[in-house]
Amino acid sequence: MLEINGLRARAGGTDILQGLDLTMGPGEVHAVMGPNGSGKSTLANVLSGRPSVEVTGGSVLYKGKNLLDLSPEERACEGVFLAFQYPVEIPGVSNMYFMKSALNAVRKHRGESQLDAMDFLQLVREKMKLVEMDEALMNRSVNEGFSGGEKKRNEILQMAVLEPSLAILDETDSGLDIDALRIAAEGVNALRRPDRSVLVITHYQRLLDYIVPDYVHVLAGGRIVRSGGKDLALELEEKGYGWITDGASA
Amino acid sequence: MSEALERITKQEYQYGFVTDIEQDTLPPGLDEGVVRFISAKKEEPEWLLAWRLKAYERWVAMKDDSPTWAMVDYPEIDYQAISYYSAPKPKKQLESLDEVDPDLLDTYKKLGISLDEQKRLQNVAVDAVFDSVSVATTFKKELNKHGIIFCSFSEAVREHGDLVQKWLGSVVPQGDNYFAALNSAVFSDGSFVYIPKGVRCPMELSTYFRINAENTGQFERTLIVADEGSYVSYLEGCTAPQRDENQLHAAVVELVALGDAEIKYSTVQNWYPGDADGKGGIFNFVTKRGACRGARSKISWTQVETGSAVTWKYPSCILQGDDSVGEFYSVALTNNCQQADTGTKMIHIGKNTKSTIISKGISAGRGQNTYRGLVKISPKATGARNYSQCDSLLLGDQCGAHTFPYLEVKNDDATVEHEATTSKIGEDQLFYCQQRGISEEDAISMIVNGFCKEVLRELPMEFAVEAQNLLGVSLEGAVG
């Protein structure tokens, strides 16, 4: 599914990723954990193609294609989805219209027919159950005036609608209370499939109580410094990052 | 970002063609003789000639008073180099559409305006004004059944002289301002509407203005009178050929709403804006004003201004009747070297009068966009309320947005609110859309469209489509 080799990237004039390697198979859930400033969000930004991040070395193969050659919208159409840490507000554009446009853009890329408003409404109603979202939010402007929990659930709803092959969750747990966290996580779990990989980026272990990963990686100093099973997350929770990252930065 | 922005903002002007048609054009220059010529050509009654001559006198007296306070920069206009009358030949009384020159019908077809009633898809009656004269008005018979008068201004002068005489200049007097005085002296045609008491006009009325001839000015005049308890929705569209020279357009629109009457006036202005380097384009100096004369009357202006090299217009409401309502919804887009100084005046005179101003300015390229508005609450306007919101959106970093809200409140009981924002299309917004599979171009359209939503939703459906095409935005997003 995804093969990252020796990835290097700069943002804001600083080298952040410094030779990152990561391989994900289909259907696998990987968690990338690490202290603040370790490059977690930069990794999400590189994979989704955010223009403010500059790739300076290494390669990323996604389904056998060079991902870095594709524009952000091409990556999205090819099935790369990023659940944003800070979902963006778009005043005056209804959430319903936004999602329908997104889905139709992806469907067009796949050579599928366009959905009209009625078809889409039916589809989105079905998906909304997953994240227990109020239909009223569909008629509001994208993310405008949404609570923190509503924004994150809206991200997971978009994931459910767009059915990506690779979903990247960037700090989806940040700013959520425990109930909102549970709902968002259950939404993600319901979307786990043998042909869909999920990359969970998080600072804290608690999200992984709900979304149980197959692999856990620790990111420090712009590289993966340790990989393991789900128990590694628990160990980190107990001991903190220091015992691993001290070694990495030395 | 800049590439898609450039593609969108550099779309070519679609209506720049010229119709090759024989025209009756007066040589350039303006003096009393020209005013008399125009009046004679139109076989006008004496009172109107006298009215024009008085306007000419006022204009001559204002010679050095052309307004300089607006934030627009343009070369001095040589009023003696302009021709003040041009009409397609032959000019005879038209009985039906079959007699309209096929070249003219073709012109309107190219503009997407069907004058053929058989092919009507929309419930819209059209008055087509080509250069200085009205060439066709559709659906007259049907409107007549309701006692509605909708015809060219010239015809109104002939057939309904008393009505015209009663209301002409009653809202915008001859000497109101420099350009209104010029228009009053030399106006050649335009549209006239009268809605009788208690009648709700069953269809949208529309005038489509087209400038064709070279070196001519267009000076049309629109007068709409809504008698007590009546309602009308009126649409106005404009285009002009692509030429290297600037052309002057100085129109006057007067609206009168009597007790409980409502007038909804919508404009999509798409005069030729000039090329990317600012060569050519229309100088658009327009005076639009409505008077809410009666109690509980309402006048609503909606405008989408995307054309012209220079736009100078302030559709205003005089709220005389108690409980009368004035509204102004505006989208102004300036691109390349375009300049717009536009806004409104809401003059509160009656008790409990209410006004709403929603202005959306979009600047791209090197465009300059100014909102200029006055809210005046007179001493008698107890209980008056105003809400103003002026938002500016910048696309790129070479354009400008300016806001000048003036407030004159002379009654302590009034409530006046003003909000203003300026924002740039954010990288974050664009990236968010792109990450969902939406192309950069579509994302820009979507964001601009969302920004204008409050205004676009005020437009009648038929016009909303045209407006969204003009803005390069998606309609569904605006009305969804």
pLDDT band at residue B130 using 50, 70 and 90 as cut-offs: low
Interface with chain B: mutation pick from A77, A101, A106, highest number of B CBs within 10 Å: A101
Q: Considering only the beta carbons, identify the residue of A87, A97, A109 that sits closest to B480.
A: A97
Q: Considering only the beta carbons, identify the residue of B438, B474, B478 that sits closest to A102.
A: B438
Q: Is the pLDDT of residue B133 over 80?
A: no
What local confidence, expressed as pLDDT, does residue B275 receive? 77
- Helix, strand, or coil (residue B88): strand
pLDDT band at residue B477 using 50, 70 and 90 as cut-offs: very low
Contact A40, A32 (CB under 8 A): yes
Closest CA to B148 of B170, B163, B132: B163
**Long-range contacts for B72-80 (Cβ within 8 Å, ≥24 apart)?**
B72/B310, B72/B311, B72/B312, B72/B339, B72/B340, B72/B341, B72/B368, B72/B370, B73/B339, B74/B246, B74/B283, B74/B309, B74/B310, B74/B339, B75/B246, B77/B246, B77/B248, B77/B283, B79/B30, B79/B182, B80/B28, B80/B29, B80/B30
What local confidence, expressed as pLDDT, does residue B12 receive? 63
Kindly identify which residue of chain A lies nearest to residue B453, measuring between CA atoms. A92
Least confident interval from B98-107, B230-239, B285-294 = B98-107
The burial class, CB within 10 Å (0-12 / 13-18 / 19+), for B383 is middle
Closest CA to A89 of B154, B447, B325: B447
DSSP bridge partners of B302 = B266, B329
Q: Is the pLDDT of residue A51 over 80?
A: yes
* DSSP state letters, B115-140: --GGG--SSEEEEEEETTEEEEE--H
- pLDDT tens for B460-471 read 776 676 666 666
Q: Across residues B420-426, what is the average pLDDT?
A: 83
Q: Across residues B414-422, what is the average pLDDT?
A: 90
Contact A150, A175 (CB under 8 A): no
Kindly identify which residue of chain B lies nearest to residue A47, measuring between CA atoms. B435
Q: What is the mean pLDDT of chain A?
A: 92
Kindly identify which residue of chain A lies nearest to residue B452, measuring between CA atoms. A92
Widest CA span in chain A: 59
Q: What is the mean pLDDT of chain B?
A: 83
Interface with chain A: mutation pick from B431, B455, B456, B474, highest number of A CBs within 10 Å: B431
Least confident interval from A185-189, A212-216, B267-271, B343-347 = B267-271
Q: Is the pLDDT of residue B112 over 70?
A: no
What local confidence, expressed as pLDDT, does residue B458 receive? 86
Contacts of B89 (CB under 8 A, 6+ apart): B21, B22, B23, B24
Kindly identify which residue of chain A lies nearest to residue B437, measuring between CA atoms. A73
pLDDT band at residue B157 using 50, 70 and 90 as cut-offs: very high
Least confident interval from A156-160, A166-170, A190-194, B12-16 = B12-16
Tokens found for residue B478: 């605006």
- Dist CA B101 CA B113 (whole Å): 15
Contact B463, B234 (CB under 8 A): no
- Dist CA B182 CA B272 (whole Å): 22
C-alpha distance from B440 to closest chain A C-alpha (Å): 8
Chain B residues whose C-beta sits inside 8 Å of any chain A C-beta: 1, 426-429, 431-440, 442, 446-447, 449-454, 474, 476-478, 480
Q: Do A88 and B429 touch (CB under 8 A)?
A: yes
What local confidence, expressed as pLDDT, does residue B474 receive? 26
- Helix, strand, or coil (residue B89): coil
* Global ipTM: 0.96
Tokens found for residue B76: 């001095």
- pLDDT tens for B360-399 read 998 888 888 899 999 999 999 999 999 999 999 888 788 8
What local confidence, expressed as pLDDT, does residue B175 receive? 92
Q: Do B437 and A105 touch (CB under 8 A)?
A: yes
What local confidence, expressed as pLDDT, does residue A1 receive? 93
What local confidence, expressed as pLDDT, does residue B86 receive? 77
Counting one residue from chain A and one from chain B, the pairs whose CB atoms sit within 8 A come to: 92
Q: Which carries the bigger pLDDT value, residue B449 or residue A78?
A: A78
- pLDDT tens for B294-320 read 999 999 999 988 877 888 999 999 999
Total of domains in chain A: 1
Q: Considering only the beta carbons, identify the residue of A48, A75, A96 that sits closest to B480.
A: A96
Interface with chain A: mutation pick from B435, B449, B456, highest number of A CBs within 10 Å: B435
- pLDDT tens for A209-239 read 999 999 999 999 999 999 999 888 888 888 8
- Dist CA B152 CA B156 (whole Å): 6
C-alpha distance from B432 to closest chain A C-alpha (Å): 7
- In degrees, rounded to 5, the angle at the alpha carbon of residue A132 between the alpha carbons of residues A127 and A136 is 85
DSSP bridge partners of B369 = B340, B401
Q: Do B438 and A73 touch (CB under 8 A)?
A: yes
Q: Which carries the bigger pLDDT value, residue B287 or residue B449?
A: B287
Q: How many CB atoms lie within 10 A of CB B342?
A: 27
Q: Does the CA dihedral B9-B15-B17-B23 come out positive or negative?
A: negative
Q: Does the CA dihedral B273-B278-B279-B284 come out positive or negative?
A: positive
pLDDT band at residue B231 using 50, 70 and 90 as cut-offs: very high
Q: Do A82 and B435 touch (CB under 8 A)?
A: yes
Tokens found for residue A145: 């005036």
C-alpha distance from B413 to closest chain A C-alpha (Å): 33
Give the side-chain half-sphere CA count within 13 A for B361.
31
Q: How many CB atoms lie within 10 A of CB A100?
A: 25
Q: Across residues B160-189, what is the average pLDDT?
A: 94
What local confidence, expressed as pLDDT, does residue B142 receive? 80
Most confident segment among B197-211, B226-240, B248-262, B418-432? B248-262
The CATH number linked to A217 is 3.40.50.300
Give A71's contacts in chain B (Cβ within 8 Å).
434
Q: Considering only the beta carbons, identify the residue of A52, A89, A105 that sits closest to B438.
A: A105
Q: Across residues B344-355, what is the average pLDDT?
A: 97
- Dist CA B404 CA B341 (whole Å): 10
Q: Do B477 and A101 touch (CB under 8 A)?
A: yes
C-alpha distance from B9 to closest chain A C-alpha (Å): 21
